[in-house]
Amino acid sequence: MHCVEFYSGIGGLHVALTRSSIPNAQLIRAYDWDQSACQVYTANHGPSIVSRTDISKLTANELAALGADIWFMSPSCQPYTVLNPNRARGALDPRAQSFLHVIDDVLPTLCEEGKQPRYLLVENVAGFQDSTTRTHLLDTLVRLGYTTSEFLLTPMQFGIPNSRLRYYLLAKASPLKFAGLPAPNLARKRNDAGVEVEASSSPAVLTYIPGQGDPWIDDRLSPAAVDDPKVSDSQLPGGELASYLDKLTDNEYETYKIPDKVLSKWGRLFDIVLPSARRTCCFTRGYTQLVERAGSILQMNEEMDTTETFDRFLALQRAGDSSTLDVLRPLRLRYFTPTELLRLFRIIGPRSNDNGEDQEFKWPENISLKTKYRLIGNSVNVEVVRRLIDYMYLEPDGNGQ
């Protein structure tokens, strides 16, 4: 089964496919415009797959020649993120145009020629659910004879200590169907060739994958958790952050510690977690460049109370004491390393042994630390996508097609 990856980044969707249960699946082409992302992709998956391409210029003939069975698509999230004050524009945002080109211009042509992919997987931020792009996408897929299913999923429900709620859409060309869905909304529509086809979509966005657990509920919203956040953390599935962390030398710690200037001015705004925690905030492309809504930082000293320490720091700061940072330094606050984030994103697995040895992930020498964080923040969680790929391939009779 041949697959094509659009907006391929550093290859998270590629890794998910290789770990899936689809037999003989092969990623034959990947497209991205980011030069650094293409360099990293090439270093890890070889030089013959990724193409630095403006996706808005792809043609139906080019994609028909590939004969792909599956399309993976993770288009730009900027038009739909909560950080974008103009996210209401949705499909009108210039950064959405390449995705709409593929959906509006390329896919219908392939359907007319009978050369369309049998499966599609689309990933984006949770805000995509409320966008005009999503509405247009669903309408187009149903018109073209696809059956769709939508999800809002987070790695935390699969035992990974990272909160990264994302929207996913799966689509299967008729007569393929999904297994275990709630009663679908059925419709008969004429496709672009004028042939009447039956298509369906699930009636709601699911917070679980059928057959893979219950709907996800954030325990932080329970009354007990509001009073004591540690209650909800102790009830989360999966293990502690400690198994994802590097054992840094003193020199390495200096590379990742929070700079004094940042700590003094913005330290109280960070989301601070301990190695024993079972939750981290969503890591974004702005990690280490932004303080809020960019991702958690680590407090390596678990013996100290974070809140009490910052209360003392603020009291001394208000009093004009020049030694305020001396109060915070013993907390040993630092950023997560790129390798730690690769583990949380399951691009590589959790630390395999006490020596901290990992499966290899290659960074070209010219890729800066800032760029590494940006590229990882733009990536997908491989384990969540792997589960969705397995589910997408499954038919109601329990077999793949």
pLDDT digits 0-9 by tens, 62-85 = 999 999 999 999 988 877 776 555
Condensed to tens digits (0 to 9), the pLDDT of residues 244-292 reads 999 999 999 999 999 999 998 898 899 999 999 999 999 999 999 998 8
Counting the structural domains of the chain, the total is: 2
Reported as type and span, the H/E element at residue 189 is strand 185-190
Q: Is residue 401 part of a domain?
A: no
Q: What is the pLDDT of residue 192?
A: 55
Q: What is the pLDDT of residue 90?
A: 62
Instruction: Give me the domain span that covers residue 252.
Output: 219-377
Same domain, 168 and 273: no
Which amino acid is present at 236?
L
Among the listed residues 94, 144, 102, the one whose alpha carbon sits nearest the alpha carbon of residue 122: 102
The residue-averaged pLDDT of 163-188 equals 84
The residue-averaged pLDDT of 196-202 equals 56
Residues serving a catalytic function are 77
Q: What is the pLDDT of residue 356?
A: 47
Same domain, 30 and 172: yes
Q: Is residue 398 part of a domain?
A: no
Kindly indicate the confidence band of residue 188, based on its pLDDT and cuts at 50, 70 and 90: low
Q: Is residue 399 part of a domain?
A: no
Q: What is the CATH number of the domain that holds 55?
A: 3.40.50.150
b/e per residue 135-164 (b: at least 16 CB within 10 A): ebbbeebbbbbbbbbbbbbbbbbbebbbbb
Q: What is the pLDDT of residue 215?
A: 84
Same domain, 159 and 30: yes
Same domain, 200 and 260: no
Same domain, 205 and 265: no
Q: Is residue 104 part of a domain?
A: yes
Kindly indicate the confidence band of residue 385, based on its pLDDT and cuts at 50, 70 and 90: very high
- State the chain's mean pLDDT as an integer: 87
Q: What is the pLDDT of residue 222?
A: 47
Same domain, 239 and 266: yes
Q: What is the pLDDT of residue 81?
A: 72
Condensed to tens digits (0 to 9), the pLDDT of residues 12-43 reads 999 999 999 999 999 999 999 999 999 999 99
The residue-averaged pLDDT of 372-379 equals 96
Does the pLDDT at position 399 exceed 90? no
Kindly indicate the confidence band of residue 109, based on its pLDDT and cuts at 50, 70 and 90: very high
Same domain, 81 and 184: yes
Same domain, 201 and 231: no
The residue-averaged pLDDT of 355-384 equals 88
Share of the chain above pLDDT 70, in %: 84
Does the pLDDT at position 332 exceed 60? yes
Greater pLDDT, 367 or 234 = 367
Among the listed residues 89, 76, 53, 57, the one whose alpha carbon sits nearest the alpha carbon of residue 122: 76
Q: Is residue 359 part of a domain?
A: yes
Kindly indicate the confidence band of residue 170, based on its pLDDT and cuts at 50, 70 and 90: very high
Q: What is the pLDDT of residue 236?
A: 67
Same domain, 111 and 153: yes
Q: Is residue 107 part of a domain?
A: yes
Does the pLDDT at position 141 exceed 90? yes
Residues contacting 338, CB < 8 A, separation 6+: 363, 369, 372, 373, 376
Q: What is the pLDDT of residue 178?
A: 93
Reported as type and span, the H/E element at residue 273 is strand 272-273
Q: What is the pLDDT of residue 225?
A: 43
- Token pair of 83 as six digits: 């950080």
> Could you give the CA distance from residue 21 to residue 231 in angstroms, rounded to a whole number?
36
Q: What is the pLDDT of residue 185?
A: 55
CA 42 from chain centre, in angstroms, equals 20
Q: Is residue 170 part of a domain?
A: yes
> Could you give the CA distance from residue 64 to residue 380 in angstroms, rounded to a whole number?
26
Q: What is the pLDDT of residue 229?
A: 47
Same domain, 176 and 278: no
Mean pLDDT lowest for which of 149-163, 181-195, 228-242? Answer: 181-195
Q: What is the pLDDT of residue 390?
A: 96
Does the pLDDT at position 293 exceed 70? yes
Q: Is residue 204 part of a domain?
A: yes
Same domain, 199 and 285: no
Q: What is the pLDDT of residue 228?
A: 45
The residue-averaged pLDDT of 367-376 equals 97
Q: Decide: 229 and 220 in contact? Cβ < 8 Å.
A: yes
Same domain, 179 and 245: no
Share of the chain above pLDDT 90, in %: 69
Q: What is the pLDDT of residue 138?
A: 94
- Token pair of 355 as six digits: 């020596």
